[in-house]
Amino acid sequence: MKAARWLVPLSATFVAALVRLSLVLRSEFPLNDGALFYLMTRELQQAGFRLPAYTAYNGVGIPFAYPPLGLYLAGLLASLGRLPLLQVFRFLPVALSLMTVPAFWALARALLPSGAAAALATYAFALLPASFTWLIMGGGVTRAAGLLFAILALYQGHALYTREGNRHILATGFWAGLAALSHLAMAWVAAASMALFFLTYGRSWRALARSVAAAGVALAITAPWWATVIAQHGLSPFLAAARSPEPPGASLLFFLMLLWTDEPWFPVLAGLALLGLLSCLAARRWFLPAWLLGLVLLDPRTVDTTGSLPLALLAGLGIVDVLLPPLNGGAGVAAAAGSAYASWDPARSRLARATLCALFVYASCSALVANSPVLVGLSSDERMAMEWVAQYTPQTSRFVVLTGDRAWGADRSSEWFPVLAARQSVATVQGREWLEGFMRSAYAYTMLQRCAAGDGSCLEAWAEEPGQSFTHVYIAKRSSAVGRSVTDDAAASIRNTLRADPRYRVLYDGPGATVLERVR
């Protein structure tokens, strides 16, 4: 019986490993982002693992305020194991993301009314592309660690309100503290979710006191980090990072259109979650719908990832509560609303079992072919071009990096350029969330990338804004992420026009990029 209990998380983790490693192994370089964290980890190693005051990334004076636990994990693993740091950034994120699967299984067992629903929810979480897309790339060193610890904090938080024992206070505070030390957004998700847990399972002065005690434990665990940052920079980095650049209404519309799960074909898991949502509403079980809606409204920047938690739970309920009862010859949601799920076999008939197998095969194939535009590593040709820039351009050069990407988080060239080319990228956004004027930086990036389809006059007009002057242009030769699709060589137009523009001179034209000097 004990071995059977571990069969679900082990098999789900194995399936998740096949999917996620297949995506990581397609590139010899960390997927998409991570350059900022890579440089910060190197600086942490060079400082003897004492927090520096600033990071040299992009030469704009970014405070070294980012939650450092993921950086410590990567740096210590590279130093103690004598491993190349780039390879650590390639594989540590996927390893951390795989740990979220058994952690989610424990949470699902606690929140859902049957082991069958929890098992199906765990397989849904393992195969839902949105649950791992932003975790397995280079920046997942922080995001994956944060989500893992947030899930563990929620599991213990549920026990905090439903079981006796002070150990749950310590455990909740401990995991919540590690989540905050890994990623602020994940810590915010844990805190907001815990508030909903309190309203659902607590609602007593004693539960409130236990919550305050757990928060005190989390504050104590994180104190060495935030106290150091405040002593060096005051509260300004945290106040700047707290500002969200995305209105919640856009995320709500995105959710209602079932576009955010990253499923490449028909969004079957999102559809099953919708069935689970209807089941909960019909039975007046408000917790999971409220949790999902709360994350969409309160956490619009990372809801693609964090929203996969309630969505997978709802998918498990959708299968058990709505889809399978008719296949077993039973009633649907109305009759099942008050039943004892724990004693109900969700797949009594051959048709029900065949349906489950078909869903599993479809979701597995869907996850394997999920080709998100962001799950691509920087090519060797581009890395060669950036190395040329580092060797043959003045150190005082100010570059604009043109790719045609519409979202700065999907622009791997702009993020890795300051590290590999060792030159300032005027419009790179990464790291500026800790500085004033983040919204302006994000807007400037968007306007610059629109010039990829224009000409030199567009660049000259862009440079007239304060702080946007430049001396060189780097134009990537690659496909670009435009929304959820990919456009081949989106910067071809401006590359061709600048070659004939007397205001610019070609310095390098290789297979990965074209580099031009702005002639004054």
Phi/psi for 421 (5° steps) reads -90, -15
- Strand-pairing partners, residue 424, are 398
Residue pair 190/146 in contact (Cβ under 8 Å)? The answer is no
The domain spans of the chain are 2-369, 380-518
- For 25-45, the pLDDT digits (tens) are 999 999 999 999 999 999 999
CA–CA gap between residue 514 and residue 520 (Å, rounded): 19
Distance of CA 343 to the CA centre of its chain: 37
Helix (H) or strand (E) holding 508: strand 504-509
Helices (H), 183-286: 184-197, 205-233, 236-241, 248-256, 268-282
| pLDDT tens profile 329-350 | 764 443 344 443 344 456 677 8
Question: Residue 510, Cβ neighbours under 10 Å: how many?
Answer: 13
For residue 433, pLDDT beyond 60: yes
pTM exceeds cut of 0.85:
yes
**CB-based burial label for 64 (10 Å; 0-12, 13-18, 19+):** buried
At residue 265, the pLDDT reads 78
506 - beta bridge partners? 516
User: What pLDDT is attached to residue 227?
Assistant: 96
Residue 145 parent element (H or E): helix 140-162
Q: How many CB atoms lie within 10 A of CB 450?
A: 13
Q: Quick one: average pLDDT of 456-478?
A: 93
Residue entry with tokens 């599991």: 155
Average pLDDT taken over every residue of the chain: 89
Mean pLDDT of 443-463: 93
- pLDDT reading at 404 higher than 80: yes
Is residue 253 predicted with pLDDT exceeding 60? no
CB–CB of 367/267 below 8 Å? no
Q: Which residue has the higher pLDDT, 26 or 489?
A: 26
pLDDT over 90 for what percent of the chain? 68
Instruction: Please give the average per-residue pLDDT across 227-246, as a whole number.
Output: 85
The whole-number pLDDT of residue 164 equals 82
| Rounded Cα distance, 442 and 408, in Å | 7
Q: How confident is the model at residue 256 (pLDDT cuts 50, 70, 90)?
A: low
pLDDT, position 343 = 40
Per-residue model confidence (pLDDT) at position 11 = 94
User: Bigger pLDDT: 44 or 436?
Assistant: 44
Reply yes or no on whether the pLDDT at 79 is more than 60.
yes
d(CA 210, CA 215): 9
Residue 514: half-sphere exposure toward Cβ, Cα within 13 Å: 20
Query: Which pLDDT belongs to residue 330?
Result: 61
- As a whole number of Å, the end-to-end CA separation of the chain is 77
User: Encoding tokens for residue 199?
Assistant: 């309203």
- For residue 485, what pLDDT is reported? 58
- pLDDT at residue 337 in the model: 41
Identity of residue 114: S
Q: Which helix (H) or strand (E) holds 425?
A: strand 424-425
Pull the structure tokens for residue 51: 């927090």
- Cβ within 8 Å of residue 44, ≥6 positions away: 51, 52, 68, 71, 72, 75
pLDDT over threshold 80, residue 152: yes
Query: What pLDDT, on a 0 to 100 scale, did the predictor assign at position 338?
Result: 41
Residue whose C-alpha is closest to residue 271's, from 255, 258, 288, 260 = 258
Least confident residue range of 25-34, 298-307, 373-382: 298-307
Strand 398-402 relative to strand 424-425: parallel, antiparallel, unpaired? parallel
Give all strands (DSSP E) within 311-411, no chain letters.
Answer: 398-402
Token pair for residue 239?
Answer: 């106040």
Residue 353 or 2, more confident:
353
Q: Does residue 295 carry a pLDDT above 90? A: no
Element (H, E) at 487: strand 485-487
Give the DSSP per-residue string, 445-462: HHHHHHGGGS-HHHHHHH
Structure tokens at 368: 């394997």
What's the confidence (pLDDT) of residue 520? 72
Strand duo 480-482 + 62-63: pairing: unpaired
> Can you tell me the distance from the alpha carbon of 382 to that of 375, in angstroms, rounded to the nearest whole number?
16
User: Does the pLDDT at position 198 exceed 90?
Assistant: yes
What angle do helix axes 350-369 and 268-282 make, rounded to 10 degrees?
130
Q: Compute the distance between CA of residue 520 and CA of residue 511 in angstroms, rounded to an integer.
A: 27
Question: What per-residue confidence (pLDDT) applies to 490?
Answer: 83
Residue with tokens 């072919």: 369
From residue 357, alpha-carbon distances to 118, 311, 361, 458 in Å are 17, 20, 6, 54
CA 149 to chain centroid, in Å, comes to: 14
Determine how many CB atoms are found less than 10 A away from the CB of residue 22: 12
- How far apart CA 123 and CA 324 sit, in angstroms, is 16
What Rg value do the Cα atoms of the chain yield, rounded?
A: 24
DSSP-derived secondary structure letter, 480: E
Strand pairing report for 398-402 and 472-476? parallel
- Tell me the average pLDDT across 197-210: 91
More confident residue, 278 or 481: 278
Tell me, what's the pLDDT at 512? Answer: 94
